[in-house]
Amino acid sequence: MSRPKVVVARNLGPDVMPLFNRSDLDVVAWHSETEACGRKWLLENIVGASGVLVMLADKVAGPKLRIVSTMSVGYEHVDLQQLTDRGVRLGYTPDVLTDAVADLSIMLALMAGRNSRETMSVWPSYPWSPFAFCGPQLSANWLHPTRTAGFIGFGRIAQATLARLVPFGFTHCLYTGNPASAPTPERDATLARTLGVESVRRVALAELARESDVVFVLAPGAPSLRHVVDAAFLRGMKKTAVLVNTARGTLVDSDALALALREGWLWGAGIDVVEGEPHVGADHPLVKEPRCVVLPHIGSATTETRLGMATMAAKNLISGVLGDTMPAELSITR
Amino acid sequence: MSRPKVVVARNLGPDVMPLFNRSDLDVVAWHSETEACGRKWLLENIVGASGVLVMLADKVAGPKLRIVSTMSVGYEHVDLQQLTDRGVRLGYTPDVLTDAVADLSIMLALMAGRNSRETMSVWPSYPWSPFAFCGPQLSANWLHPTRTAGFIGFGRIAQATLARLVPFGFTHCLYTGNPASAPTPERDATLARTLGVESVRRVALAELARESDVVFVLAPGAPSLRHVVDAAFLRGMKKTAVLVNTARGTLVDSDALALALREGWLWGAGIDVVEGEPHVGADHPLVKEPRCVVLPHIGSATTETRLGMATMAAKNLISGVLGDTMPAELSITR
């Protein structure tokens, strides 16, 4: 029996690629770590392949394909219906990036309140004054002894972010969930008790906007959630609140956010994702807003986490193609 | 009896200045919130004054002066020996800024690891790749299940910063203290238990440099601590560690830090204070280092905290001049 062919659409570096040095697989790997393989190379090489390892931007199909392994926690680049119809199994990389994204969410919440874009560029000519560069304080303080965090989407990353906020004096947590799912008041009460906050409550979007001192967008990039943060939501926020999006750009209406920042509906924003990325120019309305920190989708970009994701994606591919249990396989239920 | 004269060297804004609308004081206040009063105005108006409220940069003396109130937690701009000799009481603003500075310390620790200066300027042309922009992860992770924070100086701000690090997975805390003071192993054990970390230990500088994943400089700006972070310290750090200074610029040797970053002795740095500030030009060696985030001394610059500091400074001045207990008076023991 011939060895199954697998295609690896990116060089995953010297720590991960040796995993593919095995005699039971026929491995075709793209040579470069920094450059994408391109659609043409991928379509040429996918012919006859049983499995493929792809990045978030790659779209692929092949008649013999049985395993797709994506180096990402999101899978909106994958046509799940087609996978189900063809019996293709999907490996992905959940969990391993939770902490890196939660770290970045905290960083952006702080940067959005502390006027980072302005303050990072003021030396050499800085006239100190008592209220220069002052923005709202993230942590609890003498004027605001309670703090409320709002989460649009309340999965693992959101809960890891909430845990980090507790010693900042956060006392209340609001979140929105899939309306079709049953409420979980007992889980919420347990979580509140475990973390040491006064309450964790699922609420409607309008209440979340109205009550939160910081709103974290941490939902999956599903079509039904497109622009869940729209003009109406932003108008409902506190003028001193900040918005953080470390999930998917499509969840936030960019034009509405730019207008909201310009008109002071909220204080500031920190976003790691932008609708339409990577086609984000210097003239993008959010890149131009001084109160908006825009990062280039680096939520999971720490050495340790990306190494973990690449390793997991490689193991998913190898295990899947050889018919073994994948370390992380998506169970497709639709 | 004539009303005591007080000089307020800065306009503290519409929320605080009304505190001085009182018939028992003769108040002379500088008109501007954003511009400093200047030495000439201060020396002219200090004549005959019983009390003065100053900012960090003001130096002042007067023959009748009995009260100096500084809107700062530091007092290295004050000649304590002279105050003692003349029986002048000093009011300052401790505690109220603890959380704002701890917030900023966390922000800078995150920014230093996540290559913020580079990543904030990469749109529009960003070629995604698995390890682009990757730096060391602040939080615990699959490769590094323990994390160690090192504190040079271990007062209120340091302990508030440590508390914030716990849900990031920090397990160990090292600190340096005044060598003349007795060790406090019981206090340290209690603190470790309260915060939920494995250990809190006072150590020598070399061990702190060697073992810490992030080093926070949070000591007072005393002459004896000038350049406590020097080339030897920096050479001793982990290559993946970051340095944060939110205390005083004089504590870190700027030239040594620039060299250390250039040569990769450590990963990155986030500093809110620079030796010689505010004379920090675009050609400053640290401003030029891409791995160094340089902020313009905004540790306490949140709306709530600066309002709290200004209110406390005003109350210190008024109470002191009227012979009452100040909300926060420094006990000068030397």
Mean pLDDT, rounded, for A163-191: 95
Q: Say yes or no to pLDDT of B333 above 70.
A: no
Residues in chain B closer than 8 A to A123 (CB atoms):
274, 280-282, 284, 287, 294, 296
Beta-carbon pairs below 8 A across chains A and B: 248
- Chain A: residue nearest B140 by CA? A99
- Do the beta carbons of residue A94 and residue A328 sit within 8 Å? yes
Q: Say yes or no to pLDDT of A53 above 70.
A: yes
State whether B128 and A287 contact (CB < 8 Å).
no
Helical spans, DSSP H, in chain A: 38-45, 80-86, 98-113, 116-119, 156-165, 185-195, 205-211, 231-235, 254-263, 285-288, 303-321
Mean pLDDT, rounded, for A176-186: 91
Return the amino acid letter for A282: A
- Do the beta carbons of residue B135 and residue B115 sit within 8 Å? yes
Q: Chain-centre distance of CA A146, in angstroms? A: 27
Tell me, yes or no, if A172 is annotated catalytic.
no
Q: Say yes or no to pLDDT of B124 above 70.
A: no
Distance spanning both ends of chain B, measured CA to CA: 34
Residues in chain A closer than 8 A to B35 (CB atoms):
127, 129
Query: What's the confidence (pLDDT) of residue A123?
Result: 67
| Total Cβ atoms within 10 A of residue B310 | 24
**Same fold across A5-96+304-321 and A98-294:** yes
**Structure tokens of A291?**
């109160």
**CB-based contacts of A243, cutoff 8 Å, min separation 6:** A112, A214, A215, A217, A229, A234, A237, A252, A257, A266, A268, A269, A270, A271
Distance CA A135, CA A122 (A): 16
Summarize pLDDT for A196-228 with one digit per residue, the tens.
999 999 999 999 999 999 999 999 888 899 999
State whether B166 and A167 contact (CB < 8 Å).
yes
State whether B127 and A34 contact (CB < 8 Å).
yes
**Structure tokens of A297?**
């989708």
Query: What's the confidence (pLDDT) of residue A280?
Result: 86
| Total Cβ atoms within 10 A of residue A330 | 18
Lowest mean pLDDT among A17-31, B12-26, B271-285: B271-285
Summarize pLDDT for B7-47 with one digit per residue, the tens.
999 999 999 999 999 999 999 999 999 999 999 999 999 99
Query: What's the confidence (pLDDT) of residue A233?
Result: 98
**Coil, strand, or helix at residue B252?**
strand
pLDDT band at B212 (very low <50, low <70, confident <90, very high): very high
Distance CA B36, CA B42 (A): 10
| Total Cβ atoms within 10 A of residue B35 | 12
Cα angle, residue B78 at apex, residues B74 and B79 outer, rounded to 5°: 135
Q: Say yes or no to pLDDT of B96 above 70.
A: yes
Return the amino acid letter for B249: G
Query: What's the confidence (pLDDT) of residue B118?
Result: 87
Torsion angle in degrees (nearest 10) through CA of A29, A32, A38, A40? -50
The DSSP call for residue B183 is P
State whether B167 and A168 contact (CB < 8 Å).
no
Residue of A120, A131, A282 lying closest to B293 (CB–CB): A120
pLDDT band at B123 (very low <50, low <70, confident <90, very high): low
Radius of gyration of chain B (CA): 22
| Total Cβ atoms within 10 A of residue B151 | 28
Q: Say yes or no to pLDDT of A57 above 80.
A: no
Fold for the domain defined by A98-294 = Rossmann fold (3.40.50)
Return the amino acid letter for A152: I
The partner residues of B269 in beta bridges, in order of sequence, read B243, B292
What does the domain layout of chain B look like in residue ranges?
Answer: 5-96+304-321, 98-294
- Do the beta carbons of residue B271 and residue B295 sit within 8 Å? yes
Distance CA B82, CA B149 (A): 38
Residues in chain B closer than 8 A to A143 (CB atoms):
304, 307-308
Query: What's the confidence (pLDDT) of residue A128?
Result: 76
Helical spans, DSSP H, in B196-327: 205-211, 231-235, 254-263, 303-321
Q: If residue B104 lies in a helix (H) or strand (E), which one and from where to where?
A: helix B98-113
Instruction: Specify whether domain A5-96+304-321 bears CATH 3.40.50.720.
Output: yes
Residues in chain A closer than 8 A to B120 (CB atoms):
116-117, 120, 293-295
- Do the beta carbons of residue A106 and residue A124 sit within 8 Å? no
Summarize pLDDT for A68-117 with one digit per residue, the tens.
999 988 887 778 888 888 889 999 999 999 999 999 999 999 999 999 99
Q: Find the helix packing angle between A98-113 and A303-321, rounded to 10°.
A: 150
pLDDT band at B334 (very low <50, low <70, confident <90, very high): very low
Q: Say yes or no to pLDDT of B82 above 90.
A: no
Distance CA A297, CA B229 (A): 34
Residues in chain A closer than 8 A to B110 (CB atoms):
103-104, 106-107, 110
Distance CA B47, CA A70 (A): 74
Summarize pLDDT for B145-182 with one digit per residue, the tens.
999 999 999 999 999 999 999 999 999 999 998 888 99
Q: If residue A216 lies in a helix (H) or strand (E), which one and from where to where?
A: strand A214-217
Among the listed residues A332, A321, A328, the one whose alpha carbon sits nearest the alpha carbon of residue A8: A321
| Total Cβ atoms within 10 A of residue B322 | 15
Distance CA A218, CA A159 (A): 10
Torsion angle in degrees (nearest 10) through CA of A26, A28, A31, A36? -150
Lowest mean pLDDT among A36-40, A73-77, B285-289: A73-77
**Coil, strand, or helix at residue B172?**
strand
A324 touches chain B (CB under 8 A): no
Q: If residue B206 lies in a helix (H) or strand (E), which one and from where to where?
A: helix B205-211
Q: What are phi and psi of B6, to 5 degrees?
A: -125, 145
Q: If residue B5 lies in a helix (H) or strand (E), which one and from where to where?
A: strand B5-8
Q: Say yes or no to pLDDT of B117 above 70.
A: yes
Q: What are phi and psi of B23, to 5 degrees?
A: -80, -15
Q: Which pairs count as long-range contacts for B33-36, CB under 8 Å and 24+ apart, including other chains?
A: B33/A129, B33/A130, B33/A131, B34/A127, B34/A129, B34/A132, B35/A127, B35/A129, B36/A127, B36/A128, B36/A129, B36/B9, B36/B10
State whether A304 and B71 contact (CB < 8 Å).
no
Query: What's the confidence (pLDDT) of residue B1?
Result: 61
B102 touches chain A (CB under 8 A): yes
Return the amino acid letter for B297: H
Distance CA A154, CA A30 (A): 37
State whether A303 and B131 contact (CB < 8 Å).
yes
Among residues 243-272 of chain A, which lie with CB inside 8 Å of chain B? none
State whether B302 and A137 contact (CB < 8 Å).
yes
Among residues 219-238 of chain A, which lie with CB inside 8 Å of chain B? none
**Coil, strand, or helix at residue B202?**
strand
Mean pLDDT, rounded, for A18-28: 96
Mutant choice from B298, B300, B311 vs A, greatest count of A C-beta within 10 A? B298
- Do the beta carbons of residue B96 and residue B47 sit within 8 Å? no
